[in-house]
Chains A and B, each alone.
Chain A
Amino acid sequence: MKKISCVLLFLLIGASITWAAGTKKRKLPPYEFGSVTINNYSQQSGMPPVVFDHWIHRQYYTCRLCHVDVGFGMSAGATKIRAADNIKGYFCGTCHNGRTTHNKKAVFDSCAKEYSREAYNSRCVKCHEIEKSTLKEDQFFKFAQNLPKERFGNGINWEKAESEGLIKPIDQLEGVSINKAKLKIQPDFALKSKVEGMPEIIFSHKKHTVWNGCELCHPEIFMGIKRGATKYTMIELFEGKYCGVCHDKVAFPQSDCQRCHTKAVQ
C-alpha cells in the first residue's frame, strides 16, 4: 500500500512539473524557421492552411515592402487574408497574379473562384500545403549553400548576405509603393545591459532600415520617444515584444547573444 502511494505521489509530482514547465519547443529545421501558417478561412473553405515561407520571399523583397506597402500584418493570421482579396490583386495577389514577372518568369497566380482538379494539384497546393514537401527542403539547402552562415535560425546570415550583395531585396513595387526621398539613416547607438559583464548592445539603424524602413518599427513596436526611456527586459523580448516581434520568429533568434551584445567590454 505504501509502495503504491509512493508511486502515485511520484507520478503526481512529475505531472505537475511537466504541466508547470510547459512543453518544450521543438527546434525547427532550418527550412521551417520563419514559416507562418495562415488559417483564417482556408479550412472553412475546405482547403488546407497556407504555409508561408519567409526565406523564399525575403531573398527577393525587403520586409518593409510586404509589411508596409502590401499591408501584411506582423503576426500570423492578423491580416485575415481572403481568397477574394488575392483575386482582386491585393496581399498575395499583388505579385501572385500570373502577370507579374520575376527573373523573366511569371509569378504564379494565387487564388481563383473556380478551379479544376489539375489546377488544385498544380497551383493551389503551392500555398495550401497538404503535406511537407521534400522539394522545398532541397530548394532551401541549394539556396543556402552559397550564403554566409549563421549558428541559429535558418543558418543564413541575411544581414551579411545583403551587405555583401549576394541577395538584392527589392524595396519598391511599381503601382504599389510610393516614390519617396532617400532615407536619412539615424546614427547607431548603444543600449546598456542590465547584467553586469554583459557587453552593451549596439543598435544599428542602418542594418534595420535596409529591411524595414521607419514605419514598420515606429511607433508600433518601439513607441518610446526618448532613447533609453523604455526599459526592455529579455523576458519581454522572449515573449515576442519589441525586438522579439521579428527576432526568434523570422530574423535571427535572440539566443544568439553576440549578435546584439557587440560592444567590446572595457
Chain B
Amino acid sequence: MNTIPYGKTSKQLVLVLSFILYAFLTTAHGQESWRTDFDETCARTTDAMSLSNNELKVLIAKCDQLQTIIEKQEETVRKVFLKRLQMCKNLYVYVLESKSASEKTPK
C-alpha cells in the first residue's frame, strides 16, 4: 500500500487548517469590521445638531457605503441593520437640510 510520508501529510494538514482558519478569521473580521463602522457612523445621532455640514456629509456618505455592505448580509441581519441605518442616515440628512435652510434664511 502506498502511503504518503508522515511529514508531507502533516504539512498538507497544517496548510489546509491554516487556510480554513484564515477564511474564518477574515469572515469574522469582516463582520466585526462593518459592525464597528456601523456603530461609529450612527453614534453621532445624539449630537447631530452640533455637527458641521461637512461632518454630516461625511457621515451620510459612510451610511451609503455601509448600506452596500449590509445588503450582502443574511436576511435577518439585513432587515435589522438596514432599518437602523436608514433611521440614522435620515436623521443626518434631516439635520443637514435643517442647517442649510436656516443658513439661507436671512436673519
- Contacts A178-B39, A225-B94, A225-B97; A215 near B45 (Cβ below 8 A): yes
Which single residue of chain A is at the shortest CB-CB distance from B89? Answer: A215
For A153-180 the 0/1 string (1 means CB < 8 A from B) is 0000000000000000000000000111
Residue in B77, B80, B88, B102 whose beta carbon sits within 8 Å of that of A215 in the complex:
B88
Majority SS at the chain B contact face: helix
Residue in A69, A73, A79, A184 whose beta carbon sits within 8 Å of that of B49 in the complex:
A184
Q: Say if the beta carbon of A2 comes within 8 Å of chain B.
A: no
Majority SS at the chain A contact face: loop
B42 / chain A contacts, CB cutoff of 8 Å: 178
A73 / chain B contacts, CB cutoff of 8 Å: 83
Whether A225 lies near B101 (C-beta < 8 A) is yes
Residue in A69, A181, A182 whose beta carbon sits within 8 Å of that of B84 in the complex:
A69
Residue in A70, A85, A178, A220 whose beta carbon sits within 8 Å of that of B90 in the complex:
A220
Q: Say if the beta carbon of A119 comes within 8 Å of chain B.
A: no
Q: Say if the beta carbon of B66 comes within 8 Å of chain A.
A: no
Whether A182 lies near B46 (C-beta < 8 A) is yes
For B29-59 the 0/1 string (1 means CB < 8 A from A) is 0000000001100111111111000000000
Question: Chain B: interface residue count, which band?
Answer: 20 to 34
A79 / chain B contacts, CB cutoff of 8 Å: 79
- Contacts A90-B76, A181-B46, A184-B46; A215 near B101 (Cβ below 8 A): no
For A44-88 the 0/1 string (1 means CB < 8 A from B) is 000000000000000000000000111101000001101011001
Q: Say if the beta carbon of A21 comes within 8 Å of chain B.
A: no
Whether B94 lies near A183 (C-beta < 8 A) is no
Which interface residue of B76, B98, B101 has the most chain A CB atoms within 10 A?
A: B76
Which interface residue of B50, B94, B97, B98 has the most chain A CB atoms within 10 A?
A: B94
A80 / chain B contacts, CB cutoff of 8 Å: 79
Question: Chain A: interface residue count, which band?
Answer: 20 to 34
**Distance A40 CA – B88 CA, assembled complex (angstroms):** 27
A216 / chain B contacts, CB cutoff of 8 Å: 87
B87 / chain A contacts, CB cutoff of 8 Å: 68, 215-216, 220
Whether A71 lies near B79 (C-beta < 8 A) is yes
For B69-95 the 0/1 string (1 means CB < 8 A from A) is 000000011011101100110110110
Chain B nearest Cβ from A147, distance in angstroms: 28
- Contacts A69-B84, A180-B45, A225-B101; A218 near B91 (Cβ below 8 A): yes
Q: Say if the beta carbon of A223 comes within 8 Å of chain B.
A: yes
Chain A nearest Cβ from B103, distance in angstroms: 12
**Distance A215 CA – B88 CA, assembled complex (angstroms):** 6
Q: Say if the beta carbon of A201 comes within 8 Å of chain B.
A: no
Q: Say if the beta carbon of A219 comes within 8 Å of chain B.
A: yes
Q: Say if the beta carbon of A211 comes within 8 Å of chain B.
A: no
A182 / chain B contacts, CB cutoff of 8 Å: 46
Instruction: Spell out A's residues near B (CB within 8 Å).
Output: 68-71, 73, 79-80, 82, 84-85, 88, 90-91, 178-184, 186, 213-216, 218-220, 223, 225-226
Contact sample, A vs B, 12 pairs, CB 8 Å cutoff: A69-B84, A71-B81, A90-B77, A178-B38, A178-B43, A180-B44, A180-B47, A218-B94, A220-B90, A225-B94, A225-B101, A226-B98
The 7 closest A-B pairs by CB, nearest first: A219-B94, A71-B80, A215-B91, A183-B46, A225-B98, A180-B46, A215-B87
